């Protein structure tokens, strides 16, 4: 089964948590989302409050390593999301960045200008159904098991 690492802001701000949840559900149609707790504040607290920051960092890097594809929602500026994108590129992972163009955010040139990133601007997560399907089919090798 394909594995996806989804990145969204946690400590940088949770204003798009419901969007993250929708994207995670769209991804789950195609495989397993290692960071499926990211859409749910209660789940984040339950899973992460017992872990040290070092343990969270090392678990998340291991999940990026294991993943076939990294999908990042980049509308809310977040150090963690930027760091994860940087490390994913280092590992040669395909990276799709999704930006909601209905907000006042302006996206970093380090993301829009990164040759390792595929950018997609959207206004409603519903639009992402086919974008995600296409990105996954282009970047995840089909498996027989």
Mapping DSSP to helix (H, G, I), strand (E, B) and coil, where does residue 95 land?
strand
In whole angstroms, the minimum distance from the beta carbon of 24 to a second copy comes to: 19
Binding of residue 109 to a second copy (CB under 8 A) = yes
Q: Which residues contact 54 (CB under 8 A, 6 or more apart)?
A: none
Binding mask 57-76 for a second copy (x = CB under 8 A): xx-x-------------x-x
* CB of residue 129 to a second copy, shortest distance in Å: 25
CB closer to a second copy out of 109 and 126: 109
Residues 6+ apart with CB under 8 A from 70: 4, 5, 6, 7, 64, 84, 85, 88, 93, 94, 95, 96
56 binds a second copy (CB under 8 A): yes
Return the number of the residue (2 or 33) whose C-beta is nearest a second copy. Answer: 33
Between CA 125 and CA 43 the distance in angstroms is: 22
Region 2-41 residues binding a second copy, contact defined as CB under 8 A: 9-13
Of the two residues 28 and 108, which places its CB atom closer to a second copy in the complex?
Answer: 108
Q: In what order do the strands lie in the sheet with 32-33?
A: 32-33, 3-7, 69-73, 95-100, 117-122
Q: DSSP string of 71-90?
A: EEE-SS--HHHHHHHHHHHH
139 binds a second copy (CB under 8 A): no
**Per CB under 8 A, does 86 bind a second copy?**
yes
The answer to the question of residue 106 lying near a second copy (CB under 8 A) is yes
For a second copy, the binding residues (CB under 8 A) are: 9-13, 48, 52-58, 60, 74, 76-87, 89-90, 106-115
């Amino acid at each position: 089964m394909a594995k996806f690492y989804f990145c969204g802001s946690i400590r940088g701000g949770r204003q798009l948590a419901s969007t993250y949840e929708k994207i995670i559900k769209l991804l789950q149609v195609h495989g397993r989302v290692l960071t499926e707790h990211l859409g749910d504040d209660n789940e984040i607290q339950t899973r992460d409050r017992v872990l040290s920051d070092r343990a969270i960092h090392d678990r998340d890097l291991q999940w990026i390593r294991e993943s076939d594809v990294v999908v990042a929602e980049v509308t809310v500026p977040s150090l963690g999301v930027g760091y994860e994108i940087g490390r994913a590129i280092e590992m040669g992972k395909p990276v799709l960045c999704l930006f909601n163009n209905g907000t006042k955010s302006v996206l970093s040139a380090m993301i829009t200008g990164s040759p390792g990133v595929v950018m997609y601007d959207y206004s409603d997560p519903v639009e992402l159904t086919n974008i995600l399907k296409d990105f996954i089919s282009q970047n995840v090798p089909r498996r027989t098991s």
